[in-house]
Homo-oligomer: A and B are copies of this chain.
């Protein structure tokens, strides 16, 4: 019985992948899916998928497969937080605005509720209905139950991390191109093109020898 055990790290990292694929299936009006089909889709062994899902509960039916709609629902209910995560965005440069313009946050984990910047030409305005405040007002404006911050600035990111922690933020999505660290108790997820390209190159290249 795997159900109830604590979920392996590797498994947790795959849940978002499944969820994304399931959404695609749903949008294509697919109502049921086999672990083998999902396997094709996400390039993860079907056994691994079945095992991963079994940590949450018995979600499938033998001889039938999984109900797409139900699976999505379970992911949302069990793993998500009810879509009401209040996320803040620090930095409204090119990237920050790209994030704001992508407005499909709802029904995923939550949404960006406010943004912060320093540039006078942007502070005080709203972008896609999201108000932009001056970063000096962070402590004053941040919602009390805000746990996640997206950091998309290029300066003084490390300092900011400490301020965010004091405000109760426990998770940071890091879009800076610098290396930042978070104290114990905080989680950091880095999103970086350059790193991804390097991974790609490192993976596709045969690694040459050196001494």
Residues of A within 8 A of B (CB): 3-4, 7, 12-13, 15-17, 19-21, 23-24, 41-43, 55-59, 74, 77-81, 85, 87, 93-95, 97-99, 101-102, 104-105, 108-110, 147-148, 150, 170-171, 173, 177-179, 181, 187, 189, 191-205, 207-211
Which 4 interchain pairs have the tightest Cβ spacing? A94-B98, A16-B198, A171-B200, A95-B98
In Å, the complex CA distance between A17 and B181 comes to 12
Whether the pair B78, A201 counts as a contact (CB closer than 8 A) is no
B residues in contact with A178, CB < 8 Å? 24
In Å, the complex CA distance between A55 and B209 comes to 9
Whether the pair A208, B78 counts as a contact (CB closer than 8 A) is yes
Beyond the given A59-B210, A79-B207, A189-B199, could you list 4 further A-B residue pairs with CB under 8 A, ordered by the A residue number? A56-B210, A109-B201, A170-B204, A171-B204
Expressed in whole angstroms, the minimum distance between the Cβ of A170 and any Cβ of chain B is 6
In Å, the complex CA distance between A199 and B194 comes to 20
Whether the pair B210, A74 counts as a contact (CB closer than 8 A) is yes
